Amino acid sequence: MPSAADLAWLIPVLPLFGAVATGLALISFNSTINRLRKPVAVFLLTCVGAAAVLSYAVLAEQLAGAPVVEHLFIWASAGDFSLPMGYVVDPLGAVMLALVTTIALLVMVYSHGYMAHDKGYVRFFTYLALFSSSMLGLIISPNLLEIYVFWELVGMCSYLLVGFWYDREGAAHAAQKAFVVNRVGDFGLLLGILGLFWATGSFDFQGIADGLAAAISTGSVPGWAALLLCLLVFMGPMAKSAQFPLHVWLPDAMEGPTPISALIHAATMVAAGVFLVARLEPLYSQFPIVGLVIAVVGTITCFLGASIALTQMDLKKGLAYSTVSQLGYMMLAMGCGAPVAGMFHLVTHAFFKAMLFLCSGSVIHAMEDVVGHEPILAQDMRLMGGLRKKMPITSITFLIGCIAISGIPPLAGFWSKDEILGQAFISFPLLWFVGFLTAGMTAFYMFRLYFLTFEGEFRGEDKAMQAELMAAANKDTDEEHPHHAGVLHESPWSMTMPLAVLAVPSVLIGLLGTPWNSRFAALLNPEEAMEMAEKFSWGEFLPLAGASVAISASGISVAVLAYYLHRIDLSQLIAARFPTINAFFANKWYLDAINERLFVRGSRKLAREVLEVDAKVVDGVVNLTGLLTLGSGEGLKYFETGRAQFYALIVFGGVIALVMLFGVLGNPLA
Amino acid sequence: MLEFAVSAPFDPAAPLLAEQVNANFPWLSLSIFFPIVGALLVPFIPDQGDGKQVRWFALGIALVTFLITVAAYLNGYDPSVSELQLSERVSWLPDIGLTWAVGADGLSMPLILLTSFITALAVLAAWPVTFKPKLFFFLILAMDGGQIAVFAVQDMLLFFLAWELELLPVYLLLAIWGGKKRQYAATKFIIYTAGSSLFILLAALAMGFFGGGTPNFEYTVLAQKGFGAGFQLLCYAGLLIAFGVKLPIVPLHTWLPDAHGEATAPVHMLLAGILLKMGGYALMRFNAELLPEAHAQFAPLLIVLGVVNIIYAALTSFAQRNLKRKIAYSSISHMGFVLIGIGSFSALGTSGAMLQMVSHGLIGASLFFLVGATYDRTHTLQLDEMGGIGQKMRIMFALWTVCALASLALPGMSGFVSELMIFAGFVTDEAFTLPFRIVIAGLAAIGVILTPVYLLSMLREIFFGKENAELVSHTKLVDAEPREVYIISALLVPIIGIGLYPRLMTDTYSASIDALVKRDVAAMQNLSKPSAPQIRNTKLSPALILAPKLPMQQLQGS
């Protein structure tokens, strides 16, 4: 009987099989398959469910102390080069496998309810299975290149799912933005992988780390180059895990269906960056500067996400910026050289953030019956309020999520966040302080979301507010979507059940990682767990933990005073007094505007002008029409503006510069 | 540090490629003449003039040709042998040294298979052609034979003949069935290619007569002639221009958007799928294999030109508003990788260049077919006049998405593997200095960002968003029919197959590529020997001499 680890290759293959089968069927017998909703859903659930069972078996084996299993085969070869692919099962991977399959399964159950009326139901489930497969493949990848392969595939699934409602302009733009911003990160990742391969001759995590250390000590790779390669590789996680300044795609990605936001853009795919950094720990631990960079980027992201979340009025966007902020915490942990703490936060966060997003989906689902299928209205908290009475399960689970993320013991978020802050306090006290402040902000904005959504009076019938919101979004209040004028209701069981299930780990899972007896650390890194338990002293733990709880509590109190008891008016107190800061946060630090002006318009302009040069100069010269137009004065006008010369100069000047550069540096042929 | 193939010093006296495996059956001649004979029979097919019979006949011929090439591959071709196989030699005109010599090695075999495969699909894609169908299918079949000949012949003079003969069908296909500006495009195409191919003739004659005695143009013989360095440089430069037009290399590319912009979908598939590959194949066959020392000197230029291709064409593609031209420019961008691979001097990179040609042949053909299929429905190629058509044409949308993702080198598809191999081969090989590699790899990788920018914007503008009311009002947007789904699936099978397990393809040619690279590396090491300092000094000069002088003039002008 083979061990579960030997069968681990089945974990991504099963959902892939399901996705391919339904995908082909969709192309071949579209209308028939679209009618077979339940059978397809059951079939795909079975595939992912089987993968989940196998993942739990793998995790159980690893808990029992099974050795690391690795199987490889030669995937590509040329000359003396050969590239192995395969799979590896180790404790880190086993934890992630169990996590991803659990959440994927719950989200699929949830989607059955959420997408019930959507005409793309079957397509949605197919994409979900495809994503699960890619994500699981990423986890069991034994080397950087295979990670890159699946990295791109999860990016593709994200593209397909963000653009799922392809008749919406917003979704189309968001999908493209997500893919392109991720490609910017992948650009660095790819170059970094290639460079590391050049330096070490290996794609394997440990092989790279050892090889690079050896290469630096023998002097065959200069130190700055090694550093550069490490930072290039880090660009990949920066984009995927939405770290500043490449976080801009994640909030926009909320255009996708909410189950996707929960699964891909909160719990699993965005954590892939953190996971990769954890995998690269042997490499990064050699370079303290890289650690510092990661920690600083993480801290900036953490603060940025929280500060923007303070002013968001869109429920999903608020949660999205909260995700950005929490991913920042995880990166901070990685930068402090505490991957176990980061991974622990990844796990706890996956549960409670998935739950929070699914709650928001439940809310939106209910709101759509009142205000219609218009995301501008259905997701805006100014039209919500008082939902607790109508949606008890959703509101309770949302509240549990809020307490968990705010870091109130004994819920999950407290243990993991506190561990990160503790590590940061030792490594970088300044960064600890920022993270500490952010914890207070987190508590405030989460409870703000809760109170605005679930407490007070229901504001959904306010037509004036609806019109105002539509006007602000430059949309007609036309009413292609007739108002259902329905009533709020709790969601069906298929949606509330996953919420209830997720609430359990959100409350309890933190207890696996108490600093004095961390079973989580014992699994990932037994030595570190021993050390942690030995070093643990209440005298050190209590002040820091107490401070964290205190700042969270004060954040919650402000939220209670402002949004529940209405004792203080924050818009008067703060927003009016510091309009610049408020505008800065509300406009998302102006990063989207900068992005739009600099990169989007800039690249369009450059492209247009290169094309003009291509048509008028390059083609003109060979057509000899260039001469004619010059003679007729038509071309003269064109050349007088100087643009043609200027851009031709850039193109050819670039070539010349390259050639000259290597003329000076020496012969490019070594 | 990984050691890459470093061979023994090059010895011009030793016979190279001397061994040939003779064919037990004239597979290659059959695959060349069968479609041509089939084409000659087309006028005798009873047909009412709307092409219903003749298209079945053409499809049959194209399929049988494909089967012949597959049979040749299975029966007479051993992938582990680097030398020429399936070789046939018949003395034709001994006085001028012309021999009917065909054969296949790793450089030709994959492209021969690609040619017969794409042509068969192109015939299927030409199903709706009703205007002069007999002439159309005659030309397509004639082209099939001619293109296989280009890849299969082993004699430079024959190569020149095949290269020229293949131009004629393309010219007619463009000029008769093209779009509005078809005359202009066809003329431009013929002037460019025919003009530049003069260089092939000149180089062929020079190389054939080199060394005196009876002229001989066979590749195997040419490979053993010890051409001098200066001679090699001259021939190389001429051939580079000829093949650079075909590939194409910026700034010799401007015939391509016009030709591709006017061609109908099946012709388009052939242009992108096969014709461009003739340039890449010839660069490997002649420039890299027969002129290794000049290749060592020109390699940096090839690589710089490759990078220019990638970025320049990606930008122009982004700005294009015409769908066909957009895809045409994207082809140019992808061919830039082939240039880098050929210039990389590593087995991995060169192997990647070969794979990129096959891969782009498949992906380019699929995209161009989809452009044609979309045009049949929308009757416009302007992106501004489309929008939101994904709601009516869902299967078409799915096919487009898959092919666009393949084109932007998504892992799991062939384009990713080939680009990765080229990158990895170029970066890890010690043939070039470190700064050169860093800058080039960084610039080429910008293509990795630009490709999704233009391809995904294209998808967004065609399929996403609200339906374009005007378009919907006067066209009937029917979804893909089974024939179209079948063509794309047939192309996707090898695309995904290679993407999942690249050795399916790379193993068929890697022996020949390894031998080729060994030869080139040996030549480069020959150059680096201190005994020839003057060569060392001139090593960079070609790039400096050939680099466009424009900037200087423009600097003064502006």
Tokens of residue A403, six digits: 């307490």
- pTM here is 0.87
Q: What is the pLDDT of residue B540?
A: 36
Whether residue A29 lies within 8 A of chain B, CB to CB, comes out as: no
Res. A335: pLDDT tops 70: yes
Average pLDDT score over residue span B378-389: 83
Count other C-beta atoms under 10 Å from residue B209's C-beta: 14
A201 with B2: Cβ contact below 8 A: yes
CB distance B514–A79 less than 8 Å?
A: yes
CB B101 within 8 A of CB B141: no
The answer to whether B445 contacts chain A (CB < 8 Å) is yes
Q: Per-residue pLDDT tens for B496-511?
A: 999 888 888 888 888 8
Choose the mutation target among B420, B429, B440 for the interface with A, i.e. most A CBs under 10 Å: B420
Instruction: Please tell me the predicted confidence (pLDDT) of residue A660.
Output: 55
| Rounded Cα gap, residues A120 and B397, in angstroms | 14
| B interface test, pick of A611, A618, A641 with most B CB neighbours within 10 Å | A611
**Interface contact flag, B446 A667, Cβ < 8 Å:** no
Q: How far apart are CA A471 and CA A467, in angstroms?
A: 6
The answer to whether the Cβ–Cβ distance between A77 and B506 falls below 8 Å is yes
CA distance A393 to A395: 5
B209 to chain A, closest Cα gap in Å: 32
CB B273 within 8 A of CB B364: yes
Pair A424, A531: CB distance under 8 Å: no
B452–A contact, CB cutoff 8 A = yes
SS3 A205: helix
Report the candidate in A449, A495, A420 with the shortest Cα–Cα distance to residue A262: A495
Query: Structure tokens of A389?
Result: 């009475």
**pLDDT bucket at B558, cuts 50 / 70 / 90:** very low
Query: Are the Cβ atoms of A81 and B2 closer than 8 angstroms?
Result: yes
Strand, coil or helix: B153? strand
B393 close contact with A: CB closer than 8 A: no
Query: Which residues, including other chains, have CB under 8 Å from residue A192's CB and lie 6 or more apart?
Result: A229, A230, A231, A232, A233, A234, A235, A236
Which one of B4, B510, B547 has the shortest CB-CB distance to A656?
B547
Structure tokens at B113: 């298979």
Contact A662 B436 (CB under 8 A): yes
How big is the A-B interface in CB pairs under 8 Å?
Answer: 236
Q: Is the pLDDT of residue A292 over 70?
A: yes
On whether any CB of chain A is under 8 Å from the CB of B348, the answer is: yes
Residue A65: Cβ-neighbour burial (10 angstroms; 0-12, 13-18, 19+): exposed
Question: Which has the closest alpha carbon to B120: B447, B292, B414, B365?
Answer: B365
Distance from CA of A640 to the nearest CA of B (A): 9
Cβ contact B401–A160 (<8 Å) = yes
Q: Does B543 touch chain A (CB under 8 A)?
A: yes
Look at A463 and A432; give whichever has higher pLDDT.
A432
A26–B312 C-beta distance less than 8 A: no
> Rg (Cα) of chain A, in Å, rounded?
27
Residue of B nearest to A184 (CA): B449
Cα→Cα distances A397→A317, A365, A502, B30, B542, Å: 19, 16, 8, 74, 71
Taking residues B395-418, what's their average pLDDT? 90
Pair A593, A587: CB distance under 8 Å: yes
Contacts of A604 in chain B (CB under 8 A): 318-319
Min Cα–Cα distance to chain A from B30, Å = 32
Closest partner CB to A669 (pick from B296, B411, B464) = B296
Q: Do A76 and B417 touch (CB under 8 A)?
A: yes
* Residues B493/B406, Cβ–Cβ less than 8 Å: no
**ipTM score here?**
0.86
Would the CB atoms of B448 and A187 count as touching at under 8 Å?
Answer: yes
* pLDDT classification of B37: cutoffs 50, 70, 90: very high
Query: What's the pLDDT at B232?
Result: 86
Amino acid at position B334, single letter? H
Mutation site for A-interface testing, chosen from B317, B456, B541, B549 by largest number of A Cβ within 10 Å:
B456
Asked whether the beta carbons of B519 and B16 are under 8 A apart, the reply is: yes
Check pLDDT > 90 for residue A301.
Answer: yes
Structural contact between residues A107 and A90, judged by C-beta atoms closer than 8 angstroms: no
Instruction: Confirm if B278 and B414 have CB atoms less than 8 A apart.
Output: no
The 8-class DSSP code of residue B538 comes to T
Q: Which pLDDT score is estimated for A580?
A: 80
By the CB < 8 Å criterion, does A156 face chain B?
Answer: yes
B87 sits in which H/E element = strand B84-93
Q: If 0-12 CB within 10 Å is exposed, 13-18 middle and 19+ buried, where does residue A5 land? A: buried
Confidence band, pLDDT 50/70/90 cuts, at residue A656? low
d(CA B401, CA B372): 15
Listed by number, the residues of chain B in 291-310 with a beta carbon closer than 8 Å to a beta carbon of chain A are 296, 299-300, 304, 307-308
B405/A contact by beta carbon, under 8 A? yes
Contact A650/B at CB under 8 A: no
Both tokens of residue B177?
């069935």
pLDDT tens profile A34-83: 788 888 888 999 999 999 999 999 888 888 888 888 888 888 776 667 78
- Residue B90: how many CB atoms within 10 A of its CB? 10
Residue A205 is which amino acid? F
For A220, the closest of B1, B352, B391 (CB atoms) is B1
Q: N- to C-terminal Cα distance for chain B?
A: 49
Query: Do B31 and B137 touch, CB atoms closer than 8 A?
Result: no
Q: Do B445 and A74 make contact, defined as CB atoms within 8 angstroms?
A: no
Segment A581-626, tens digit of pLDDT: 878 877 778 888 888 888 888 888 888 877 877 777 777 666 654 4
| Best residue in A138, A616, A662, A665 for a mutation probing chain B (most B CBs within 10 Å) | A662
Q: What pLDDT score does B532 carry?
A: 32
Residue B456 · residue A180 · CB < 8 Å: yes
Q: How far apart are CA A12 and CA A19, in angstroms?
A: 11
pLDDT value at position B69? Answer: 92
Interface test with B, best of A32, A81, A122 (most B CBs within 10 A): A81
Shortest CA gap A48–chain B (Å): 21
Q: How many CA atoms lie within 13 A of A327 on its CB side?
A: 33
Taking residue A567's Cβ as centre, other Cβ atoms within 10 Å add up to: 8
Question: B274: distance to nearest CA of chain A, Å?
Answer: 24
Q: Does A643 touch chain B (CB under 8 A)?
A: no
**Residues B3-15 pLDDT 10s:** 333 333 334 444 4
d(CA B499, CA B477): 32
Band of residue B557 on the pLDDT scale cut at 50, 70, 90:
very low
Q: How confident is the model at residue B17 (pLDDT cuts 50, 70, 90)?
A: very low
Distance (Å, rounded) from C-alpha A348 to C-alpha A266? 12
Closest C-alpha to B86, from B113, B64, B62: B113
